[in-house]
Amino acid sequence: MKRTPDVRVVDSADVADTAVIGSGSSIWHLAQVREGAVLGENCVVGRGAYIGTGVRLGDNCKVQNYALVYEPAQLADGVFIGPAVVLTNDTYPRAINPDGSQKSADDWEAVGVTVERGAAIGARAVCVAPVTIGAWSTIAAGAVVTKDVPPHALMAGVPARQIGWVGRSGRRLEETSDGFTCPATGERYRLIDGNLRGESDA
């Protein structure tokens, strides 16, 4: 495992020799980080969490207890993955082929979930690959995401549907006469061609 001296990996964690762990990151009890995974700086992987082969996490990501992040998921900076979240990787899951033979790695193609900057996925939510979770969006606890999520969208339910908008603070935005406002920061947002844009969005 490639890591700097300030990386914390507890004894019960299973981290592959070829994983790359960024400065300031912590891997907690019973977590597994597979071969070729790359974690950025200041990431936290909670108890019993799983990071699949070749998965990439940006800086300042949090993967909470017992979350399953299957390859080839890609997480940008500042992503929050709640407890027991599952990011799937098999669109048509089967243990066997149509002829009854056991499936091998050559019998299917892994597809991943992409989570963009600052997005948060609540406890026990499931994201069914291939989907993209837009920047700064929030997926409510227990939701099942089967379609791409726009930036800043607030999604809930099974299957997940948009029920509002959220700002960078994670708070639900309040609608005003000329757009939306974050009750926590006061930042203003506007819908432009169906996409929500904040004052600080690039």
List, in order of start, the domains of the chain with CATH numbers: 2-94+109-170 (2.160.10.10)
Distance of CA 162 to the CA centre of its chain: 18
Nearest by Cα to 26 from 55, 52, 53, 4: 4
- Tell me: pLDDT of 165 over 60: yes
Lowest model confidence (mean pLDDT) among 69-73, 107-111, 158-162: 107-111
Q: Span 66-76, mean pLDDT? A: 98
Q: What percent of the chain has pLDDT over 90?
A: 86
Contacts of residue 106, defined as CB under 8 A and 6 or more positions apart, other chains included, come to none
For the stretch 132-150, pLDDT in tens is: 999 999 999 999 999 999 9
DSSP letters spanning 5-42? TT-EE-TT-EE-TT-EE-TT-EE-TT-EE-TT-EE-TT
**Cα 190 from Cα 173, distance rounded (Å):** 11
Q: Span 145-174, mean pLDDT? A: 97
Instruction: Give 91 or 86, the one with higher predicted confidence.
Output: 86
* Cross-strand pairs, 192: 195
pTM, rounded to two decimals:
0.94
- Tell me: pLDDT of 178 over 90: no
- Tell me: pLDDT of 76 over 70: yes
Chain mean pLDDT for the chain: 94
CA dihedral angle for residue 70, residue 73, residue 138, residue 86, rounded to 10 degrees: -10
182 residue type, one letter: C
Contacts of residue 97, defined as CB under 8 A and 6 or more positions apart, other chains included, come to 103, 107
- Which range scores top for mean pLDDT: 20-34, 87-101, 179-193? 20-34
Q: Which residue has the tokens 């509002």?
A: 164
